[in-house]
Structure formats: structure tokens, C-alpha cells
Amino acid sequence: MSGQEQKPARTVGGTIGKAVGRAKEAVGSALGKEDLAREGRLQTVQAETEQEAAELAEKAAAEEERAAIAAERAENETRRRQLETELADEGQQEAIEGRKETVVGEADRRAREEAAAAERRRQAEEATATAQERAAEAQEAAQLAEAERLKREAERAEKAADSIDPEGAN
């Protein structure tokens, strides 16, 4: 080596880097230049390491993508279940509202029927009371008429008695 320090040469990676490394190693071994052979071995190892790192990075990226997809699927499934639950709740709420409307409608109908029945009873009782009142008035009129007739008859009988016995009249 000369007095200058050698900087490690920048190496090409991948398949080309491995081939260049093997070539340097073979040339260095054939020529007896251990530095060149060692550099070739290092370049080969570096290329293999870079290739392995790239493969691992690809695998990691693919795994991250699969994990992201799985997370998205899980999130979608959770959201789907939430929506199904909301729909079921809405369906139940609608059923409750429908039942409530039915019950309220039925209660209103019964209340109207009961009010109508009460009105019919009131009218019937009023009609009965009116009929009883008329009957009482008619009976009273008949009794008054009978009393008047009896009074007239008593007066006639008294006149007849006075005409038969004039002394009894005073």
C-alpha cells in the first residue's frame, strides 16, 4: 500500500454487486492480491446483506399492508355492526312508536265510544225523566179534572139536597 489512506469504495448492491464482488475476489485470489480478494468478499457480503435487507423491507412493507388491511377490515366490521345495531334500534323504536300510536288510537276510540254511550244513557235517562214528568203532569191534570168533576158533582148533589130539604140550607 502507498502512503495514502484508501477510502472504502462505494459498492454497487444487488445481483450486479454480488457478481462484481465475486469477480474481485477471484481476480484478487488469482493475482495474489489479498486486499482485492478481501474487498471482493466484503462487496459480496455487503450486496447480499443489502439484498436481504431489501427483501426484509419488502416483507415488512407487505406485512404492514396486510396489518393495515386487517385493521381496516376490523374497523369496517365494527362500523357494520354499529350500523346494524342502529338499524335494529331504529326498527324497535319504530315498532314502539307504531305500537304507541295503536294503543293511543285504541284508547281514543274507546274513550269516544264510552263518551257516546254515556251521552246515549244521558239522553235515555232524560227521555225517561221527560216521559215520567209528562205522565205525572197528565196524572195531575187527570186528578185535577177528577177533583173538579167531583166538586161539581158535590155542588149538584148539595143543590139537589137543598131543593129536597130547603131547611137544611143556611
pTM: 0.41
* pLDDT at residue 169, as a whole number: 52
- The residues near 43 (Cβ < 8 Å, ≥ 6 apart) are 11, 17, 18, 20, 21, 24
Model pLDDT, residue 10:
54
- 3-12, 21-30, 105-114: segment of lowest average pLDDT: 3-12
Tens digit of each residue's pLDDT (9 = 90 or more) over 25-46: 899 999 999 999 999 899 999 9
Contact 40, 31 (CB under 8 A): no
pLDDT over 60 (residue 144): yes
Neighbour tally for 19: CB within 10 Å? 14
Supply the pLDDT for residue 5: 46
User: Based on C-alpha coordinates, what's the Rg of the chain?
Assistant: 63
Percentage of the chain beyond pLDDT 70 is: 90
Above 70 in pLDDT, residue 99?
A: yes
Question: In this structure, what DSSP letter does residue 166 have?
Answer: G
What pLDDT, on a 0 to 100 scale, did the predictor assign at position 153?
94
Report the pLDDT value the prediction gives residue 62, as an integer from 0 to 100. 94
More confidently predicted of 148 and 164:
148
